[in-house]
Chains A and B, each alone.
Chain A
Amino acid sequence: ETGVTQSPTHLIKTRGQQVTLRCSSQSGHNTVSWYQQALGQGPQFIFQYYREEENGRGNFPPRFSGLQFPNYSSELNVNALELDDSALYLCASSVPGHDTQYFGPGTRLTVL
């Protein structure tokens, strides 16, 4: 059974650009959640996808968007990057009705 994987590991962008981060869920998990972890802070919930539809959202603006594909892999897209978007982005997969989310290693995004 493979765990949650994310790509790329690191990414550097400039302010105003757009970025796409990718996540491959753990085998059999049809729900994916994305989190933003700023330096020295706990992760903050961005949104969750279930069966290719957004299932809930935290306090993040619309320029943060996502996709989930039929194979349950997922993307996080961020438009019009701001300096404060610099963070570790974590995805986590789970199964509805099951309580545990399994996290990937994260993508470190730096916005200059």
Chain B
Amino acid sequence: AQSVTQLDSQVPVFEEAPVELRCNYSSSVSVYLFWYVQYPNQGLQLLLKYLSGSTLVKGINGFEAEFNKSQTSFHLRKPSVHISDTAEYFCAVREAISGGGADGLTFGKGTHLIIQP
């Protein structure tokens, strides 16, 4: 079984400032890692994912994340945020299995990113 911890429930940051949203996971097997964004009253949209290879992953809307296996972390970063980035951000994990079995995602509780003008 896997678990995901998002260390901050809420992160306020000024517009055009950099931001980092923290995510740590626990798993006894290899995993795939994801970041999703949820705007108010909407479903989830994939920002980026780590499957294998380069530990620095670039996603949509200028976001990037770095996989750190030794620290079991997958922190999300953006060098300069915009008002439109105000949303809930979820880190998720699933087993990196090949074929068979369900691939349900395990999510963290989310981090509310608040952009202040």
In the complex the two chains form, is A44's CB within 8 Å of B51's CB? no
Size class of the contact patch on chain A: 20 to 34
Interface locus among A12-20, A63-71, A74-82, A98-106: A98-106
Size class of the contact patch on chain B: 20 to 34
Given contacts A99-B49, A103-B45, contact A56 B101 (CB under 8 A): yes
A35 to B38, CA, bound (A): 14
A20 → B minimal CB distance (Å):
19
In the complex the two chains form, is A42's CB within 8 Å of B32's CB? no
Partner pick for A42 among B45, B99, B109, CB 8 A cutoff:
B109
Smallest Cβ-Cβ distance to A58: which chain B residue: B104
A44 to B109, CA, bound (A): 10
Given contacts A43-B90, A56-B101, contact A103 B44 (CB under 8 A): yes
Which residues from chain B contact A40 at a C-beta distance below 8 Å?
Answer: 109-110
In the complex the two chains form, is B44's CB within 8 Å of A45's CB? no
In the complex the two chains form, is B105's CB within 8 Å of A101's CB? yes
B115 → A minimal CB distance (Å):
20
In the complex the two chains form, is A48's CB within 8 Å of B109's CB? no
In the complex the two chains form, is A42's CB within 8 Å of B110's CB? yes
In the assembled complex, B106 has its CB within 8 A of some CB on chain A: yes
B78 → A minimal CB distance (Å):
20
In the assembled complex, A90 has its CB within 8 A of some CB on chain B: yes
In the assembled complex, B103 has its CB within 8 A of some CB on chain A: yes
B22 → A minimal CB distance (Å):
15
Given contacts A45-B106, A99-B51, contact A105 B32 (CB under 8 A): no
In the assembled complex, B102 has its CB within 8 A of some CB on chain A: yes
Partner pick for A43 among B45, B49, B103, B107, CB 8 A cutoff:
B107
In the complex the two chains form, is A56's CB within 8 Å of B104's CB? yes
Q: Beyond A4-B43, A47-B104, list 8 extra A-B contacts (CB 8 Å).
A: A33-B103, A42-B107, A42-B108, A42-B110, A48-B103, A97-B98, A99-B49, A100-B46
